[in-house]
Amino acid sequence: MEKILVPVDGSEQSHKAVGFAVDLANHYHATIYLLHVFKLTIVPEGLGEYVVSDRVQLRALGDKIIAAAEDEAKGHGVERIETAVVEGDPAERIIDYAKEHDVDIIVIGSRGLGTFKGLLLGSVSNKVTHRADRTCVIVR
C-alpha cells in the first residue's frame, strides 16, 4: 500500500474519508493523493447555452477544499501528500487520475454535498466504485 487516493468535495463524508486515509497512510507509510474536481454548470436558455459558474472561482474554492484536507492530513502526521484540482466530470476524472498515478486504493465518502439524501450512495461514489479497476473503500 503505497498510494492512497482521496477525492474530496468539502463535505462531511469526504472529511471522514480523509480521516480514514490518514490512518491507512500512517500505518503503511503511504502517500495520500488529494483530488478535487470542479465542473462548470451550464444551463440551456433559449437557443444558446450559458456558463453560469465561473472557472476561476470554482478553482479557488477547490484550492480551499484541498488546503483544508491537506492541513488535516499534515496535522495527523502524514508526511507525503500530493494535491490536485482539475476540471471535468468528477467520477471520470477520479477514475482517470487513479489510473494515471497507479494508486493502490481509492478512499471515498458515501455521500457528498448533494442535497437529495434518500440514497446510500451519491452518483460520484456510485460511478467510481463500479467503474474504477482498483480497490475502493466507501466511508460512511
Residues in touch with Mg ion (CB under 5 A):
112, 114, 122
C-alpha cell at 37: 474536481
Instruction: Answer yes or no whether residue 70 interacts with ligand ATP by CB under 6 A.
Output: no
85 binds, among Mg ion, ligand ATP, none (CB under 5 to 8 A by kind): none
CA dist., res. 137 & res. 14, Å (int): 12
Candidate residues 37, 73, 95, 98; the one interacting with ligand ATP per rule CB under 6 A: 37
Burial level of 99, CB count in 10 A (0-12/13-18/19+)? exposed
Place of cell 446510500: 120
The span of 12-20, 21-29, 53-61, 69-77 binding ligand ATP (CB under 6 A) equals 12-20
The span of 49-57, 70-78, 95-103, 108-116 binding ligand ATP (CB under 6 A) equals 108-116
Under DSSP, the state recorded for 102 is T
